[in-house]
Amino acid sequence: MSLDTDGEFERLNALRRYAILDTPPEGAFDRITALAAEMLDAPVAMVSLVDANRIWYKSVHGPAGLREIARGPTLCGAAIEEDGVYMVEQASADPRTQEHPLVTGPFGLEFYIGVPLKTHEGYVLGTLCCMDTRPRSADLRQRRYLETLAAIVMDEIELRRSAAQISRLSEALAAACSDLERRACFDPLTGVLARAAMLDRTARLLERAVAGAKGAALLVVDVDRFKGINDTYGHGVGDRVLKEVASRMAGSCRGGDLLGRIGGEEFLAVFAEVTEEEAMTIAERLREAVCRTPVPLPGGAPLEVSVSGGLRAVAPSDKPAPLADSMAEADAALYAAKSGGRNRIVLSDGSQMPPPAA
């Protein structure tokens, strides 16, 4: 077979697509060659794949350590040109094979029989072959056995390829699902949790908090005078402010806390395993993180930004309540913080941090 023909080029491309060359031995193929050797009563059986310049063996029953030989006037190379069984009964007396290294060398090959390994598209990848050191033949029953085993080899090769494709598709699907989940769970502007994901996780956290040792707390936060920021500086600056506020609050939360954006300029923070006093301290830390340093603006003076918050503590002794009820109490406290002068935290019982200015 000429190595530069279009058919050979396409055959080699097909072989590459199966990604089987230079792979480790596999039990499925080794069992087939062992069975082929037994059925043909031959000391050697091989699954060979014919590459551009070599014959590579996926499975060898017989000679230990044989993995490949150079491609030339080889028996397997000749067998792939046949449509069916290729058999040499006495290689030392056959002009086609009498100069072959396996015939003239220590192995002393005499008998060879090979069946092409053909894909569904008609490309021959290699052979399933058996060899013997004595001149002999194979009867019709043995030839049919070998043809059946060759078909099983191709089934294994196809299954191997399908498994690899399924694995790649599964990885791609998992990555896509992860990306979709990330998009669904996280606010694309600020990177904190989106509303639906935040409320879902908050409800579950509060259920655990009621059964815990300390409790939890909800803090509803609103950026002060945000509409004025948008109207004065534009929505680009408004987005910059929201991202900065989210980043500063996230940096002030603890590892087990939750932070999400639940409205245009409204955020929800949930503190796990805290007393009311501890929750007040964390809430104040978030407020200070936002207002401590003005938000830098490109080409303009830094912008003073503050937030107001309404805090609702949930104690372990509290009866389980719908999340909407707790949110309503936190919203009412937020309204009180806004009405009381902004840039402050108000608890749902009406107490404030910091206390209103005299």
Cβ contact 268:286 at 8 Å: no
Task: Supply the angle between the helices 140-185 and 195-210 in degrees, to the nearest 10.
Answer: 80
pLDDT of amino acid 286:
97
Domains and CATH numbers, the chain: 6-167 (3.30.450.40), 195-353 (3.30.70.270)
pLDDT of amino acid 342:
94
Give per-residue pLDDT as tens, 103-134. Answer: 888 888 899 999 999 999 999 999 999 999 99
Q: For the ranges 57-61, 158-162, 181-185, 223-227, which has the lowest average pLDDT?
A: 181-185
β-pair partners for 314 = 216
276 pLDDT higher than 50: yes
Give per-residue pLDDT as tens, 297-350. Answer: 888 789 999 999 999 998 887 777 788 999 999 999 999 999 999 999 999 987
pLDDT band at 356 (very low <50, low <70, confident <90, very high): very low
DSSP letter for each residue of 291-330: HSSPEEETTEEEE---EEEEEEEE-TTSPP--HHHHHHHH
pLDDT band at 76 (very low <50, low <70, confident <90, very high): low
Between CA 276 and CA 329, with CA 267 as vertex, the angle to 5 degrees is 50
pLDDT of amino acid 74:
64
Give per-residue pLDDT as tens, 142-190. Answer: 999 999 999 999 999 999 989 888 888 888 888 887 777 777 789 999 9
pLDDT of amino acid 66:
82
pLDDT band at 73 (very low <50, low <70, confident <90, very high): low
Give per-residue pLDDT as tens, 9-30. Answer: 999 999 999 999 999 999 999 9
Give per-residue pLDDT as tens, 281-297. Answer: 999 999 999 999 999 98
pLDDT band at 88 (very low <50, low <70, confident <90, very high): very high
86 pLDDT higher than 80: yes
226 pLDDT higher than 90: yes
Among 288, 289, 339, CA closest to 310: 339
Among 287, 270, 275, 273, CA closest to 330: 270
The length of the chain is 358
pLDDT of amino acid 179:
76
Cβ contact 53:68 at 8 Å: no
What burial class does residue 186 get, using C-beta atoms within 10 Å of its C-beta: 0-12 exposed, 13-18 middle, 19+ buried? Answer: middle
Report cis status (omega within 30 of 0) of the bond before 116: no
Cβ contact 29:156 at 8 Å: yes
**Residue 89: CA count within 13 A, CB half-sphere:** 4
1 pLDDT higher than 60: no
